[in-house]
């Protein structure tokens, strides 16, 4: 419940959960996947929840986070998004 202006500054690869909620998620070609609904704090890593899709919040999948643009770019592997287009 700390005001945004009073929050400690995060390291370059750290983010406040509230800042990620609502961000648009795009694959590396710029194709929209959806918006972050919530974050699951799993034992191995946090997971971005985009509808029914779970994307691990690790460098292998999350290429960039632009909080100013409310945009996250990800590199999905085959099967991650559950559709045939991204499985090839």
64 belongs to a structural domain? yes
> Is 1 part of a structural domain of the chain?
no
Which structural domain range is residue 22 located in?
16-75
The 10s digit of each residue's pLDDT in 11-40 is: 888 898 999 999 999 999 999 999 999 999
How many domains, the chain?
Answer: 1
Average pLDDT of the chain to the nearest whole number: 89
- 24: closest CA among 15, 16, 35, 33? 35
pLDDT band of 84, cuts 50, 70, 90: low
Dump pLDDT digits (tens) for 40-60.
999 999 999 999 999 999 999
The pLDDT of residue 77 is 87
Tell whether 43 is covered by a domain.
yes
Backbone angles phi, psi at 6, to 5 degrees: -100, 0
Query: What CATH number has the domain bearing residue 36?
Result: 2.30.30.240
| pLDDT value of residue 32 | 97
Q: Is residue 86 part of a domain?
A: no
Residue 84 domain-assigned? no
Cβ proximity of 81 and 28 under 8 Å: no
């Amino acid at each position: 419940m700390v005001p945004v202006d009073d929050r400690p500054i995060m390291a370059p690869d750290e983010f406040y959960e509230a800042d990620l909620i609502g961000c648009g998620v795009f694959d590396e070609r710029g194709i929209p996947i959806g918006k972050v609904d919530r974050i699951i704090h799993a034992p191995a890593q946090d997971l971005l929840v985009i509808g029914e899709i779970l994307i691990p919040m690790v460098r292998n999948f999350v290429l960039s986070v632009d909080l100013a643009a409310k945009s996250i770019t990800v590199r999905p592997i085959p099967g991650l998004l559950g559709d045939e287009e991204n499985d090839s």
